[in-house]
């Protein structure tokens, strides 16, 4: 049983390659009183400079399973753990968050696109490409549902960040809009409250539908009709968040740890008031 926040210490395993992701997770773990073990998949390179949190070097998957078994929960960067390795850990009784079924969508962006379309979500179209032939990209934890269309076909981007616990309880971050290469809280008067509400509701439905655990970010492109179209889905906190994209009272790294441990989440307040 995982201890509640403020109770006994919890133990989290982290499988990741990105140094900044490891370092920021380490800092938050120290603040929360979480024992963090950085676990290394055999034959992988982990770029951590934390002297007190050097990754356990595992010569085999059996060694990795033995170390992971010490942890209440194991979380991971999608690119650092293959689907086959996730299945092996899951079969060995290791609690993985996000779960293998959720992470599988990040592995297969084409499948992610098809699932979202089948569920009735609008996805970003590519001029001249059929729905099944549109090019797909993947970067780290991000599954790009479709490659971004020419900038002339969309007017803004909206990022909806959600922290979701295994129990289904969730917190939605203040919506952030990207425009002209600059990130800022979305101005409600300019973007339209109803558009933001549609994007938030769609992101919540996606998070619930794939049973996401931890941080999930859904990026929407707004077309000239003010329709939010799903462009990408990212699991886990971004190691290099943009300025003004994090709430004033918490962070995606803290909320990711809280969420995967099923600890209470704090309401996310904007860094500056929305206008």
Here the CATH number for the domain that contains residue 225 is 3.30.470.20
The DSSP line for 178-242 is EETTEEEEPPHHHH-HHHHHHHHHHHHHHHHHTT--EEEEEEEEE-TT--EEEEEEEES--SSPP
pLDDT reported for residue 248? 62
- pLDDT in the model for residue 45: 47
Kindly indicate the confidence band of residue 5, based on its pLDDT and cuts at 50, 70 and 90.
low
Each residue of 240-253: pLDDT tens digit? 765 555 666 778 99
Sign of the dihedral through C-alpha 246, 249, 254, 258:
negative
Nearest-Å Rg of the Cα atoms of the chain is: 19
Considering the domain architecture, whether residues 157 and 228 belong to the same structural domain is answered as: yes
Give the residue-averaged pLDDT of 99-123. Answer: 78
- Do the domain assignments include residue 222? yes
> In whole angstroms, what is the distance from residue 180 CA to residue 156 CA?
8
* pLDDT at residue 255, rounded to an integer: 94
Cα gap 129→47, rounded to integer Å: 39
* Nearest alpha-carbon partner for 237 in 6, 3, 22, 8: 22
Q: What is the mean pLDDT of residues 53-70?
A: 75
Element (H, E) at 48: none
In the prediction, which pLDDT does 146 show? 45
Look at 21-35, 184-198, 255-269 and tell me which has the smallest mean pLDDT.
Answer: 184-198
Look at 137 and 218; give whichever has higher pLDDT: 218
The pLDDT, as a whole number, for residue 32 is 93
Q: Can you tell me the mean pLDDT for 51-65?
A: 64
Q: What percent of the chain has pLDDT over 90?
A: 36
pLDDT tens-digit readout, 126-174: 544 444 434 334 445 554 444 455 554 677 888 999 999 999 999 999 8
Q: Is residue 274 part of a domain?
A: no
Look-up: residue for tokens 């479709």? 146
Range of the domain at 77: 11-96
Number of domains in the chain: 2
Same domain for 244 and 121? Answer: yes
- Give the range among 11-15, 36-40, 121-125, 164-168 with minimum mean pLDDT: 121-125
Give the residue from 53, 56, 12, 4 showing the smallest Cα distance to 35: 12
Between residues 42 and 213, the one the model is more confident about:
213
Which residues have CB under 8 Å from 5's CB, separation 6+? 32, 258, 261, 263, 264
Last residue of a domain, one of 78, 96, 114: 96
pTM above 0.85, yes or no: no
- In terms of DSSP bridges, do strands 35-40 and 11-15 run parallel, antiparallel, or are they unpaired? parallel
Domain identity same for 78 and 118 = no
**158: which 2 tokens?**
């909206």
Pairing mode, strands 56-57 and 73-76? unpaired
Q: Is the pLDDT reported for residue 46 higher than 60? A: no
Residue 201 reports pLDDT greater than 50:
yes
**Residue of higher predicted confidence among 140 and 65:** 65
In a domain, 1, yes or no: no
270 falls within a domain: no
What's the whole-number average pLDDT of the chain?
A: 77
Residues 79 and 112 in one domain: no
In a domain, 172, yes or no: yes
Between the alpha carbon of residue 230 and those of residues 110, 141, 155, 220, 224, the distances in Å are 13, 16, 14, 5, 15
Question: Mutual orientation of helices 252-260 and 19-32 as an angle, nearest 10°?
Answer: 70
Per mean pLDDT, which range of 3-7, 45-49, 82-86, 194-198 is the poorest? Answer: 45-49
Q: Which residue has the tokens 């886990």?
A: 236
* DSSP state at residue 77: -
pLDDT of residue 95: 96
């Amino acid at each position: 049983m995982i201890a509640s926040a403020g109770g006994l210490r919890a133990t989290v395993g982290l499988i990741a390659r990105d140094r900044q992701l490891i370092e920021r997770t380490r800092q938050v773990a120290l603040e929360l009183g979480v024992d963090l073990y950085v676990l290394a998949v055999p034959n992988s390179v982990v770029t951590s400079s934390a002297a007190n949190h050097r990754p356990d070097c595992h010569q085999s998957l059996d060694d990795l399973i033995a170390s992971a078994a010490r942890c209440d929960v194991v979380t991971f960067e999608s690119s650092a753990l293959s689907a086959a390795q996730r299945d092996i850990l899951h079969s060995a009784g290791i609690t993985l968050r996000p779960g293998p079924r959720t992470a599988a969508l990040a592995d297969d962006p084409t499948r992610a696109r098809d699932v979202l379309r089948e569920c009735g979500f609008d996805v970003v179209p590519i001029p001249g490409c059929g729905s099944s032939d549109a090019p797909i990209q993947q970067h780290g934890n991000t599954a790009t549902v479709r490659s971004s269309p020419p900038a002339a076909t969309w007017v803004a981007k909206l990022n909806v960040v959600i922290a979701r616990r295994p129990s289904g309880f969730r917190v939605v971050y203040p919506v952030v809009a990207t425009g002209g290469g600059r990130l800022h809280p979305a101005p409600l008067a300019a973007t339209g409250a109803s558009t933001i509400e549609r994007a938030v509701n769609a992101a919540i439905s996606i998070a619930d539908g794939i049973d996401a655990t931890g941080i999930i970010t859904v990026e929407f492109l707004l077309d000239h009709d003010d329709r939010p179209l799903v462009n990408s889905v990212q699991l886990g906190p971004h190691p290099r968040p943009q300025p003004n994209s994090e709430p004033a009272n918490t962070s995606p790294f803290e909320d990711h740890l809280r969420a995967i441990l099923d600890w209470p989440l704090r309401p996310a307040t904007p860094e500056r008031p929305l206008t």
